[in-house]
Chain A
Amino acid sequence: MTEWWTYRLSDFLMFSARTYRRLFELYNADVWPLPVLACIGAALWIGIAWRHRRVSAQPARVGLAVLAAAWLWVAWAFHFERYAMVNTAAPWFAAAFVLEALLLVAVAWAGLHGRTSLACGGRLGVGFGLLALAILGYPGLGVWLGRPLAQAEVFGIAPDPTAVGTLGMLLLTVSGRLSPARRRFIAAAWPIPLLWCGISGATLWTMDAPEAALLPALAGIAAAVAIGTRRSNDAA
């Protein structure tokens, strides 16, 4: 692209805010009742993971495997099948989501082992907080902003809450008993959800969406906690 410095962020927005919101409305209707099942299933998982937080990372392992399936689903059902209709960059997003799914499988398979507990302290609190926000808070966010419930963005179905929940999950998966090699697996799964929070935040910002700053802020919190609690979890 020549004269790239003359382009503004808004020059890359190809669709209206109305089209973007309708995309979720039609998507939810097409895959119904999957959004409700995803919400209930994820909420149940949070409860189980919280009860066993000090005993085993097994729920996190199961959660990561399911999360990987969710990233694959969002790549295909949302980015490739629907978002690509209005956004020429969506096939690239789909590819990135597939890659993240593979990384999450790698984390579940090789990054954890069953006898480790979940993270502790602030990391545990923020991790569960992000998961709860992604699973329970995100569907209500749009309604709170005056949008119909039919346009709700649901964890495991829509990309934004899936990325936020994944950051929460990644915060939970590091404890002091993990070897440096296993930690590297987990670290590799961070960039794509973080990047997505930036990209989607920018998209919402160009559409003047009131929640535009939320995703980058949550990503910033997750990254800060991950870096800030690295030493304390090392000592756990």
Chain B
Amino acid sequence: MSSSFRPIERRRVLRRIALGIGASWPIAALAQTAPKGRGVETKQIPSTGEALPVIGLGTWITFNVGNDRAAREGCADVMKAFFEAGGRMIDSSPMYGSSQPVVGQGLARLGPAARVFAADKVWTSSAARGPSQIEASRRHWNVARFDLLQVHNLLGWEEQLPLLFSMKQTGRLRYVGITTSEGRRHREIEDVMRRHPLDFVQLTYNLLDREAEQRILPLARERGIAVIANRPFREGALLRELQRHRLPAWAAEIDCASWAQVALKFIVSHPALTCAIPATGSVAHVRENMAAAIGRMPDAALRQRMAAHVDAL
């Protein structure tokens, strides 16, 4: 799988910063110091070779703000900061309440500045309802077509995958994927990965949830399937726990100034992983997350140390 990191110029800038200030540098300062939108780490989507920034943006809970105009503006600000920092993939679902129209409103406000990689899902067991749900999602996003559509939590995958593959074949979709979360139905995921020409698989992978390392991530490499990691912070619970402890000294070795960046770099440095999609409704947090897409990444030995360290906490 050709998903190795691409060389970046931003790394040098941040390395100097990190060496100078160690692990105590305020995140805001780090984010503000980083040049906007250039040089974020990318990985290639195996099926096409297209480069994708290793940090994306999830929308579960955080973008489900209903008709709250102020909150919608806040989400658009988050998207603006995300794109300015070089982000591209935004992931949503018809299951996420008002998240889709909120993303659409943000994209409309940002205009051409939003170089979005639009990732959404189909979430219905009804074969007949799939096309209309996808069309409704597309209208919410206000995009010409989705880059990636995934079968959400494998719901009705036997019915929905043929639809997605036919959309791809006719140019109405670029990539096809499936999703699961929190380790559910991994055997079935494996089975679908073996039998169908998927472009993407999305699953839960983070410092604590590492079951996918055993079979699914090696299989993804073998089959040339890009991997998206959801729940990188266990919906914040992992970070709340980690933040009770001091950042280890080795965090500075990989240019991390926060536990969030440690958690994200652990994920995206796995050779099979393509990107992680932390969800946030905070501009400061999206900048902090995007800063994890720059600087040095942990090697295999350090990744083992990172996992062992967190296991021991």
Give chain A's interface residues, CB within 8 Å of chain B. 2-3, 6, 10-11, 13-16, 18-19, 22-23, 26, 82, 85-88
Contact = CB atoms under 8 A, between A and B. Distances in A.
Interface residues of B, number: 19
Interface of B: 60-62, 64-68, 71, 95-98, 182-185, 235, 281
Contacts, number: 53
A37 to B, nearest CB: 24
A205 B281 CA distance: 22
Contacts of B62: 16
A2 B184 CA distance: 9
B71 A15 contact: no
Contact of B281 (A16, A26, A87): A16
Given A3-B185, A6-B182, A26 B67 contact: yes
A26 B71 CA distance: 12
B218 to A, nearest CB: 23
Contacts of B64: 14-16, 19, 86
B66 to A, nearest CB: 4
Given A6-B182, A6-B184, A15-B61, A88 B95 contact: yes
A26 B68 contact: yes
Give the 8 A-B residue pairs with the shortest CB-CB distance, closest first.
Answer: A85-B66, A86-B97, A86-B66, A15-B64, A85-B98, A14-B97, A86-B64, A22-B68
28 contacts: A2-B185, A3-B185, A6-B183, A6-B184, A10-B235, A14-B61, A14-B64, A14-B96, A15-B65, A15-B66, A15-B97, A16-B61, A16-B62, A16-B64, A19-B68, A19-B71, A22-B66, A22-B68, A22-B71, A26-B68, A82-B67, A85-B67, A85-B97, A86-B64, A86-B65, A86-B97, A87-B97, A88-B95
Interface of B is mostly: loop
Contacts of B96: 14
Given A6-B184, A14-B97, 4 more contacts: A23-B66, A85-B66, A86-B66, A87-B97
B152 to A, nearest CB: 12
B71 A13 contact: no
Contacts of B67: 26, 82, 85
A82 B97 contact: no
Contacts of B235: 10
Nearest to A10: B235
Contacts of B185: 2-3
A85 B96 CA distance: 10
A10 B66 CA distance: 19
Contact of B66 (A3, A82, A88): A82
Nearest to A15: B64
B158 to A, nearest CB: 13
Interface centre among B96, B97, B185 (most CB of A within 10 A): B97
A86 B96 CA distance: 8
A91 B67 CA distance: 17
B171 to A, nearest CB: 31
Contacts of B60: 14
A126 B95 CA distance: 41
